[in-house]
Amino acid sequence: MRLQCVGIRVSASRLGAALALAVALSPVSSANAADDFYQGKTLTLVIGSDVSGEYTAGGRIVAKHLGRHLPGNPTVVTQNMPGASSIKAANFLYSVAPKDGLTFGLVSKDVPIYEATGMQNVNYKSRDFIWIGSLSGANNLVVVWAATGIKTLEDAKKREVIMGALGSNGTLATYPYLLNNLFGTKFKVVLGYTGAQLVDLAMERGEVEGRGSYSWSDMKRARATWLKEGKFSILAQFGLEKEADLPNVPLVTDLTQDPKSRAVLEFVSSDTVMARPFLLPPNTVGERADLMKRAFDLTMKDPDFLNDARQTQVDVRPIDASQLTALVNKTVGTESDVIHASEKLMTQASSDKK
C-alpha cells in the first residue's frame, strides 16, 4: 500500500529555524547550558568559622566531592570567614556574595536563632537564603575539665566555674548564661578566644574550666583520646532527644516542668537537628540552585564521600533542602514571647543579676 503524505509545505529555512527553537527549549539543551556554565569554573564554599573544628572538616570533605555531581565537574575550594560565630559570613553571603551559583556557604546552625532573638549585627533574613541541605545533626554538650571536680550541674551551683568562649552571641556563652538564669548555676564566661579549639587548649592549661557548647560528633572526632582518658565531665546536653551514646547525661528540656522554661529550652535546642547547614545567597539563579541541591543530595550518598567521612571521622546524618528549609522557617517563626524570653535569658546582664 502506498501512503500519500498530505500537509503544508515548509521551506528549508523555516524548518531549520523551527528545529533550532525546539532544540533550544529542550531539556537536553538546558543541561548543556548548565554544562557550559560550570565547565572549567571554580566554586567557593565560605565557611563561617576558623580552620579548626568540625565545620571546616565537614566543609572540606563536601567540597572535595560535590563538584563531581554538578554538570561540567567544576572545582570547589573553601574559604574560611570566621567572625561573630558565623554572623560575619552570613551577612557576607546575604548582601555581598555573587548570586551566580559559584558561591555558597556553611554557617553555624545558630544563624536562624541569632536572627530570631535579635542578635547584634545580624543583617540577614534566614528565610531569604536558599538552603541546600545539612551534613549532620548532633547534640551540644556543656563540658567541664574533669580535674576541677565538677561532675554535675548541681556541682556547678555550688561554686563559680570559669567557661571559655569566643563572643557573647555564640552558644559557648549563651548556654552557660541560660543555665545560670534558669537553674542557678554559677558559670562565669570569659570571652575573647578566637577559636573553639583554643578554648580546649585553655582548659588543658587551666586558664578556664569548661566549655559551654561542644558538639558530640566533634568531640568524638577531635577529642577521642580525651574522652577515653576521662578528661571531660559532661554536665548536660542540648537537643530535642538524647544522643544514643549518652543515655545518662541529662537533656536540658527534662530539667524543668515549667512550660515556659521548657518552651525556651526547646527553641534554643531546635538547631541541633541541622548542625551543619549549607546555603546559597538569596536570589541565586534558579536552575543553578536546583542543581546545587541535587548535587548535595547525591554527595551525601556517594560511596567515596562516605568512605572519606568515615576515615576522617566526619559525622554524616544529612537532611535535605526541604527539611532544612522547614526547620529554618519554624525557628524564625517561633512565637514572640518565647523568642523574647530566650533573648533575655541568654545574656550576661540577666545572668549577672542572679
- Residues 157 and 217 reside in one and the same domain: yes
Are 312 and 136 within 8 A, CB to CB?
no
Residue 306: the pLDDT is: 97
State the DSSP H helix or E strand holding residue 56, giving kind and residue range, or none if neither: helix 54-66
Residue 320: the pLDDT is: 96
Q: Is residue 301 part of a domain?
A: yes
CATH number at residue 202: 3.40.190.10
Q: Which three cell numbers stand for residue 314?
A: 566526619
Residue 333: the pLDDT is: 93
- Residues 211 and 347 reside in one and the same domain: yes
Report the predicted TM-score, pTM, of the whole model to 2 decimal places.
Answer: 0.74
- Residues 283 and 299 reside in one and the same domain: yes
Tell me how far apart the alpha carbons of residues 138 and 136 are, in angstroms, rounded to a whole number. 7
- Residues 165 and 181 reside in one and the same domain: yes
- Residues 53 and 89 reside in one and the same domain: yes
- Residues 50 and 157 reside in one and the same domain: no
- Residues 98 and 207 reside in one and the same domain: no
Query: Could you please report the per-residue DSSP string of 214-266?
Result: EEHHHHHHH-HHHHHTT-EEEEEEESSS--TT-TTSPBGGGG---HHHHHHHH
Model confidence over 52-104: pLDDT tens digits?
A: 778 999 999 999 999 999 999 999 999 999 988 899 999 999 999 999 999 99
Query: Could you please report the per-residue DSSP string of 161-188?
Result: EEEE-S-TTSHHHHHHHHHHHHH---EE
Q: How many domains does the chain fold into?
A: 2
Q: Is residue 27 part of a domain?
A: no
Residue 7: the pLDDT is: 41
- Residues 50 and 173 reside in one and the same domain: no
Cα separations in angstroms, 46 against 214, 279, 302: 22, 10, 22
Contacts of 304 (CB under 8 A, 6+ apart): 65
The boundaries of the domain holding residue 150 are: 140-271+338-352
Residue 148: the pLDDT is: 96
Residues paired with 163 in a beta bridge: 189, 210
- Residues 193 and 75 reside in one and the same domain: no
- Residues 162 and 226 reside in one and the same domain: yes
Residue 350: the pLDDT is: 55
- Residues 188 and 259 reside in one and the same domain: yes
Q: Is residue 314 part of a domain?
A: yes
Residue 110: the pLDDT is: 87
Contacts of 270 (CB under 8 A, 6+ apart): 113, 240, 327, 330, 331
Residues of the chain with pLDDT under 70: 1-35, 349-354
Place of cell 537553674: 183
Q: Is residue 2 part of a domain?
A: no
Are 132 and 297 within 8 A, CB to CB?
no
Residue 27: the pLDDT is: 45
Q: Is residue 323 part of a domain?
A: yes
Q: Is residue 8 part of a domain?
A: no
- Residues 101 and 120 reside in one and the same domain: yes
Q: Is residue 7 part of a domain?
A: no
Residue 10: the pLDDT is: 40
Q: Is residue 319 part of a domain?
A: yes
Residue 32: the pLDDT is: 59
